Structure 1
Amino acid sequence: MSILRKSLAIALLPVSMSLASITSAADYVIDTKGSHAFIQFKIQHLGYSWLLGRFNEFEGTFSYDDKKPADSEVNVIIKTASVDSNHAERDKHLRSKDFLNVSKHPTATFKSKKITDNGNGSAKLIGDLTLNGVTKEITIDVSKIGEGKDPWGGYRAGFEGTTKFALKDFNISKDLGPASQEVEMYLSIEGIRKS
């Protein structure tokens, strides 16, 4: 190798290392087509029981690098009219102006801003949730479930997360009583790595 070529290779080494660090995070599509992802919620009913439900239609992406989890990013779009609490009349009410106001706000979104890695397979995912036309920062406690090859030649990564927030924070003013001021969310997300 000539001195010129060797000098050029040495000069370009920091650039290539920098590009490698930029592109090391893999991009994933959340597997909603295969029903391997769930957005569920629960809220107390009058303080006597839990009302459970989910959103049936959503989509999203995330980027993830096991060596640099703090560099991860998450984006999710939820169709609010897909709310499903296993009761048609109640779901109709949940879609109304009293709650999700789906005619005016057909989607809810989450966009990550920061991830704090706890170093033990868990992290705090901080981002903006837009719901009922209001955008607020929330924190989701996230745990990694696993990652690896699937039987169809692809590669997957999966996580679960929990969070809770007050309904009034998102201008949901319907008062269901003192035991029902907050809703808890459970997320189970499996992503397929983009080729």
Structure 2
Amino acid sequence: MKTTLTSLTLALGLSFATINAQAADYAIDTKGAHASINFKIQHLGYSWLVGRFNQFDGEFSLEDDMSKSAVSVTIDTSSIDSNHAERDKHLRGDDFLNVDKFPEATFKSTKVVPKGDGKFDLHGELTLHGVTKSIVIDAYKIGEGKDPWGGYRAGFMGSTKLKLADYGITYNLGPASTHVDMELHVEGVRK
């Protein structure tokens, strides 16, 4: 009986240890504006046009073994903001994002490949303008820890380059403007 009780206690202890070692789930902190999805694209090869998407939502799970982590994000494409109302109206139209037909863009990770020192490649499927393509985001972990309000946060930064034509956006902006650089800043609050 003593052996059975000891085995049961050990099994329960291992079960709780396994539960504690599982992924922690985080909501991306868009309410506090501690996350942003930014872009830049060359304008005629003379300068950079910069902007952002103001409305998006997402979550991620974070594990000690980074390769088992996952991310998903949904972007309201009508929230594009280049700090110029007329240009934003054009960007929302048929020549570019066509937000009436494609009101959302989504990203869902498929694989995380750690590279050491907090750096990793985040592989996933990006759906934009009705087209889904595999992309890789070059990312790194900035840090994690308790916040002053009793919560726990983790933050990351990443970047990638998208070829517009891959997503059916073929409006001619000139040879210097075929790709858009994306820069992502993500801070999540543990659920």
The 5 A counterparts of 1:73-88 are 73-88=70-85
Aligned partner of 2:58 in structure 1 is 60
Distance verdict in 2 for CA 1:41–1:192, change over 3 Å: same
1:89 aligns with 2:90: no
- Partners in 2 of 1:17 and 1:70 — Cα distance? 22
Which of residues 164, 177, 180 is equivalent to 2:177? 180
Measured after TM superposition, the shift of residue 74 of structure 1 is: 0.3
- Partners in 1 of 2:184 and 2:161 — Cα distance? 11
Sequence identity percentage: 60
Alignment gaps of 5+ in structure 2: none
Measured after TM superposition, the shift of residue 8 of structure 1 is: 3.6
1:47 aligns with 2:17: no
RMSD: 1.7
Runs of 4+ in 1 over 6 A off after TM superposition: none
Read off the aligned partner of 1:153 and give its amino acid letter. G
TM-score by length of 2: 0.95
TM-score by length of 1: 0.93
Aligned partner of 1:159 in structure 2 is 156
Aligned partner of 1:5 in structure 2 is 5
Measured after TM superposition, the shift of residue 35 of structure 1 is: 0.5
- Partners in 2 of 1:60 and 1:96 — Cα distance? 25
Provide, for residues 120-160 of structure 1, a one-character-per-residue CA deviation record: whole Å limited to 9, x for no partner. 11000000000000000000001111111101000000000
1:134 aligns with 2:119: no
Alignment gaps of 5+ in structure 1: none
- Partners in 2 of 1:59 and 1:115 — Cα distance? 20
- Partners in 2 of 1:24 and 1:4 — Cα distance? 27
Measured after TM superposition, the shift of residue 177 of structure 1 is: 0.7
Provide, for residues 61-106 of structure 1, a one-character-per-residue CA deviation record: whole Å limited to 9, x for no partner. 00112x2111110000000000000000000000011100100000
